[in-house]
Structure 1
Amino acid sequence: MLSAVQYLDYHNYGFPNHSYALQDPDGLLAVGGDLSVQRLMDAYRKGIFPWFNPGDPILWWSPQQRAVFIPAEIHLSRSTKRVCRKFNYHFSVNTAFSEVIAACAEPRGDDQGTWISEAMIQAYQQLHHQGLAHSIEIWQEQQLVGGIYGVAVGAAFCGESMFHRSTGASKLALYLLGQHCQTLGVELIDAQIDNPHLQSLGSKILTRSQFLTKLNELKNKNIEWNHWRQHKAAIHV
């Protein structure tokens, strides 16, 4: 099947049309290239994202269906609110990006692998240094217990990964991301590939065409992401 996929090199920053994405595996569009800031931002602005195992070639994806969140529609359950009050969580914004992505890269449960390689970590840290990638951090006293990170594309936010080390912390990070997106005027959070956990948090499904149409409406809107920084603050839920 890979013979039908376009191979990228270090001099070719273009991506093929989404109509060339494979059906099996769903959404595989291109292979190769690099993780430079220029290529990554070109990909995100076109609704394409990298996802591959360490040691494998870089794989670029545009699946037929896209999981998304509407920021204003992200709500916490009563049980999660109780947990947040019980543990007295605090949050911050863009103060521990490196720690968040490193935590997201840690093995989880019985799965001892991770798709967030050292190359991916370095690439997204470069995006963060240029004000293009952002994080929400959840703290219990001085311990980082949850968080989420992703890439800003105009009035859209492309979520990459989230983690928790304490009950409810990743759900809280997503909720607070939604709150901040509303404040900034961000209208859509891309969650990429749907799964039961995202569904439990209120994800919606858009077709590829619907998602790309919405992204094209949002990607050139001027959002003041550089002002998006906050040190530890109390959480009111």
Structure 2
Amino acid sequence: MKKLILSLVVFASVLTACKSEKKEKVEVKEEVVVEETVAAEEVALDNVNVETSVLTWKGTKPTGAHEGTVALKSGSLVVEEGTVKSGEFVVDLNTIKCTDLGDSEYGQKLIGHLKNADFFDVEKYPTSKFVITSVENKDDKLAVTGNLTIKDVTKSITIPATVSEENGVVTFKSDKFNIDRADFNVKYASKKFFDNLKDKFVDDLVELSFEVKATK
């Protein structure tokens, strides 16, 4: 009996550990409406350094994972006395790279697939963007809420981030966060859209993180 109880305790511990490692996606809400006059003034600032700013990504499937980067096309970031007032980051989806495969034949094939109509449909939707709508201090970090647009869908999400400043350069750096691509109408090999995929599915959760550098 003691052995049985000990086995059950060990099994429960393993289950608890597995649950703690499970990915959690950011909460998705309806788009937050921003006043056009304020947004237009901030976008015109365009002070983000697109050469040193980047969006990183990681996607997984039953047989493994791939990760990479996407460059920013433009953006603005307004910071006053260490507080983020506003920001907009426009991501250039034509610059998608897969860093773990590099320029290999399979790497090029994967990038082509990600750009195709059955995934991000880059020809029709060449950019995505994240527009900051509010910022709160929470647990020694910033809880940054913004409208994330992918394809023809815009949703409000909140991500943890930090802001630092050195020699007139402001760095906005988010923690890694997971979005559900199905929320943004990215359907390829998603179990939310297709049945009987068995082990041929691609996980709906995609890990992202921003590192954006801007001049004051």
TM-score normalized with structure 1 length: 0.25
Rg comparison, structure with higher value: 2
| Higher share of residues assigned helix | 1
| Higher share of residues assigned strand | 2
TM-score normalized with structure 2 length: 0.26
